[in-house]
Amino acid sequence: MSEIDLDTSSDIGGMPAAPPEIHGCPVSDSRGQVVLHPGRDRYVDVVKALADEGYAMCADLTAVDYLEYMRRPLPVGVHPERFEVVVNLLDITDRRRIRLRVQVPADDAVIASLFDVHPGTEAMEREVYDMFGIVFTDHPDPSRILMPEDWIGHPLRKDYEIGKIPVQFKGSHS
């Protein structure tokens, strides 16, 4: 993959340049790191294409709840949703890093699993399910990983009620 020119100020003749794309996905820059914004429908295909280009390691997969920040900056054509699945891929050979930010709506919090492409994502996807309630289709073990199986809710959602767990100290008379 060649260097990406993210200057979209103008094209030849003063006409606005088309936003940059990789594999048909809008591209942005985050402090010098290339960020792709694939749709849920193209997510796995884009990750497979990037793996073929050398991005063989998934360093991180997590999510963000933007319940209170729906007006965040996104490239033209990317519709903000409540949740984002964020994936960081590495190309160890050529020392490159790329990030994917995939919009996931709250009323259909489902996205495909990357397990078949990057088996190391198994635990990370379980954690995202556990903490945010985002379901990964075709995941080999879609069970909770941090919270008890009978836990109600997903603690990292912005609308999750803050609760209290009473603590009893050994020897106290409470």
pLDDT recorded at residue 104: 98
Domains of the chain: 19-137 (3.30.460.80)
pLDDT recorded at residue 166: 66
CA atoms within 13 A on the CB side of 6: 13
Nearest to 150 by CA among 130, 132, 135, 165: 130
Burial 20-40 (b: 16+ CB within 10 A, else e): bebbebbbbeeeeebbbbbeb
pLDDT recorded at residue 2: 41
From first to last of its 174 residues, the chain has per-residue pLDDT tens of: 444 455 545 455 665 566 789 999 999 999 999 999 999 999 999 999 999 999 999 999 999 999 999 999 999 999 999 999 999 999 999 999 999 999 999 999 999 999 999 999 999 999 999 999 999 999 999 999 999 999 999 999 999 987 766 666 777 665
Are 138 and 115 in contact, with CB atoms under 8 Å apart? Answer: yes
Task: Specify the pTM.
Answer: 0.84
Q: Which residue has the tokens 């603590």?
A: 167
pLDDT recorded at residue 161: 86
- Concatenating the DSSP letter of every residue in 53-92 gives TT--EEEEEEEEE-TT-TT----TT----SEEEEEEEEET
Residue 121: phi and psi, rounded to 5, are -85, -5
